[in-house]
């Protein structure tokens, strides 16, 4: 692919994106995330056998946060099927911030509008099969190990605990959902699993590899195995496109047009259908919670290499 021979252009794109970071702010509502260095920016682009482009310190790790929502969705779909999942969570974008409670009250029946907002993700996490939090988390980690080929990946306990102790808004969403029979687990166990899934620690190279599998029909080129059934990888990409960048998904679809999912740690995972997987880490966020430099970088990449799906 062209990108690998285009080092000079890539350096310019990185510099321009980097300039944007000063307009952003690291997330601090989860105390442990506030320790991130806002001036970090790293990028990895993977094309099935190798990284075709990297920039910054690609070994630096960060937590998945909302990026985990795409992966738990895939697991729930594999565990209980489409009918089971979509009887408890919808398919529509909300236009509201990711942690909003408002549409849960104004919509009847009270089911979260999609799996990419916190309410929907909590409902999806509740669907994952397993007898204990450890067993469910172990299954999620095994799935991530297979997607990345990196069996060292685990969760960051400090970040998980920091979020668990301060997750009062997510707790209220979960209790609301339990009252309306959308979730059935013990809420503290659900919150433990959810905060641990959000705290799974990866590098942008790991993200690029996961994105590659999602972009390429769920198949790993490295192992020649189908890790995610085709129809599920399609559902994942569709939600990434319609809801993956929270309430900035519409603008992002116009400016970038690559199915992507971001997290408040500053990660963005972008899956070009039948193309490369892209992982970015830039913890300075805009007011909607997306990596400000990461979005700028994706916009430049999409433009220069014609990566939009539209």
Active site residues: 66, 69, 194, 246, 264
Instruction: Show the CA angle centred on residue 278, arms to residues 273 and 281, nearest 5°.
Output: 150
65 contributes a contact to ligand GLN by CB under 6 A: yes
Pairwise CA distance, residues 85 & 89, whole Å: 6
Q: Which of 99, 148, 162, 203 binds ligand GLN (CB under 6 A)?
A: 99
Pairwise CA distance, residues 256 & 297, whole Å: 10
Least distance (Å) from ligand GLN to the CB of residue 99? 6
For 48, 157, 165, 289, the CA distances from 65, given in Å and listed in that order, are 25, 13, 16, 11
Q: Which is nearer to ligand GLN, 255 or 288 (CB)?
A: 288
66 contributes a contact to ligand GLN by CB under 6 A: yes
43 contributes a contact to ligand GLN by CB under 6 A: no
Q: Which of 198, 202, 207, 278 binds ligand GLN (CB under 6 A)?
A: 198
Q: Which of 94, 100, 118, 185 binds ligand GLN (CB under 6 A)?
A: 118
Check if the beta carbon of residue 268 is closer than 8 Å to that of residue 294.
Answer: yes
Q: Which of 126, 163, 206, 299 binds ligand GLN (CB under 6 A)?
A: 163
Q: Which residue is nearest to ligand GLN (CB)?
A: 66
120 contributes a contact to ligand GLN by CB under 6 A: no
> Restricting to residues 167-196, which ones interact with ligand GLN according to CB under 6 A?
170
98 contributes a contact to ligand GLN by CB under 6 A: yes
Instruction: Show the CA angle centred on residue 70, arms to residues 202 and 3, nearest 5°.
Output: 60
| Sequence-ordered list of residues with C-beta below 8 angstroms from that of 7, at least 6 positions apart, any chain | 53
* DSSP H or E stretch at residue 219: strand 219-220
Check if the beta carbon of residue 209 is closer than 8 Å to that of residue 43.
Answer: no
Contacting positions for ligand GLN (CB under 6 A):
65-66, 98-99, 118, 163, 170, 198, 263-264, 289
């Amino acid at each position: 692919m062209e990108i690998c021979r285009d080092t000079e252009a890539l350096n310019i794109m990185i510099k321009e994106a980097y300039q944007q970071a000063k307009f952003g702010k690291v997330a601090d509502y989860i105390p442990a995330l506030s320790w991130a260095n806002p001036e970090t920016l790293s990028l990895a682009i993977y094309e099935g056998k190798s990284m075709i482009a990297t920039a910054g310190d690609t070994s630096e790790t960060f937590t998945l946060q909302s990026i985990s929502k795409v992966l738990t969705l895939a697991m729930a779909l594999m565990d209980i099927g489409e009918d089971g999942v979509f009887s408890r969570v919808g398919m529509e974008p909300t236009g509201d911030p990711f942690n909003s409670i408002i549409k849960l009250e104004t919509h009847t029946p009270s089911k979260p509008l999609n799996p990419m907002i916190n309410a929907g993700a909590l409902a999806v996490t509740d669907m994952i099969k397993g007898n204990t939090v450890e067993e469910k988390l172990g299954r999620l980690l095994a799935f991530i190990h297979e997607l990345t080929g990196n069996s060292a990946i685990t969760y960051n306990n400090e970040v998980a605990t920091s979020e668990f102790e301060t997750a009062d808004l997510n707790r209220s969403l979960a209790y609301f959902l339990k009252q309306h029979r959308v979730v059935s687990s013990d809420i503290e166990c659900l919150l433990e699993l959810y905060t641990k899934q959000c705290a799974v620690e990866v590098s942008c190279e790991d993200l690029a590899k996961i994105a590659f599998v999602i972009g390429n029909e769920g198949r790993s080129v490295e192992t020649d195995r189908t890790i995610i059934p085709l129809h599920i990888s399609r559902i994942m990409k569709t939600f990434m496109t319609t809801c993956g960048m929270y309430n900035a998904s519409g603008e992002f679809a116009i400016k970038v047009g690559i199915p992507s999912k971001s997290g408040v740690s500053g990660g963005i995972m972008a899956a070009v259908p039948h193309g490369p997987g892209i992982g970015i880490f830039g913890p300075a966020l805009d007011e909607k919670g997306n990596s400000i430099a990461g979005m700028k970088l994706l916009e430049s990449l999409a433009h220069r290499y014609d990566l939009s799906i539209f």
